[in-house]
Structure 1
Amino acid sequence: MTPAPNASPDLPAVPDEELLRLDHQVCFSLHAASRAFGGFYRQALKDLGLTYPQYLVMLVLWEEGPRPVKAIGERLRLDSGTLSPLLKRLEAAGLVRRERSREDERSVVIELTGEGARLRESALSVPRGVLAATGLSVEEVLGLQEVLGRLTAALTEAADAR
């Protein structure tokens, strides 16, 4: 194996052709894991009547209380074009209420309804079910979250620098 002529000191001396193998792509590993999580969550959330993106919104509201749409979007890294229809479906299901902010008429605040707040009780088993399904220890999951957080920050910084 001849090392790539312009190998970075941070990368092992591996030929470019080898780096292009699908199984060597971190993005593909993350994509495959994300799809596996999606399939698991589809089943885990079925009884709650939530999709995975709706579950994420509910997690933010259960944790932080009423939030402006913009703050929810920033926390979940979702744009308003993705978030708005999702919030409308949650409102139609009777789980959240959308109201104009009293302080800023341009801002819409999302808050839980009583039904949305009660749904939290039913959702308490979801995280433990996910942890069990991963086959990882709590320590491994925490380590993975830490690494993924660093990866996300580095990629966001690199994209912003471009």
Structure 2
Amino acid sequence: MTRFDFTPYRRSFVGFDRVFDALENATAHVSDNYPPFNIERIDANAYRITIAVAGFKADEIDITAQQNQLLVKGSKAQSAEQDRSRFVHLGIATRNFERRFDLADFVRVTGANIADGLLTIELLREIPEALKPQKIAIGTAAPETPVIDVQPEASEASEDKAAA
């Protein structure tokens, strides 16, 4: 596998280190595609990851969201491994798995459910108000300039009258 060198781009794009790291890591990982999954866009800010976890129970799956990464692990109990001897054909894969998903900034997990052999994980992107685009109103009135009410000649004349 050929790796792409992002060094020239790192010099030109300040603050994009995480993007380049993700691109380099994506080319480095070779995945076995187990278990299969779908990523679905529900609307502009909502996503759903669906993972085929046939043969796994809810307590055999661990979902961890930390910073910008989602980790889904599945591990079968030892007793299930011992029961393999009674099967004539075992076509449903129930091997342990670990699946990682890199999440964009401000994406959080809102829930997870398992039904009919499918694990669904709901994601929501919530951009903080301070980072959302803001409409700036343009005023048409001229800015007010402060008026200075002190007149130097009038104050000198009043001092002369007070002295006399």
- State whether TM-score is above 0.5: no
TM-score (norm 2): 0.24
* Largest Rg, 1 or 2: 2
TM-score (norm 1): 0.24
- The answer to which structure has the higher helix fraction is 1
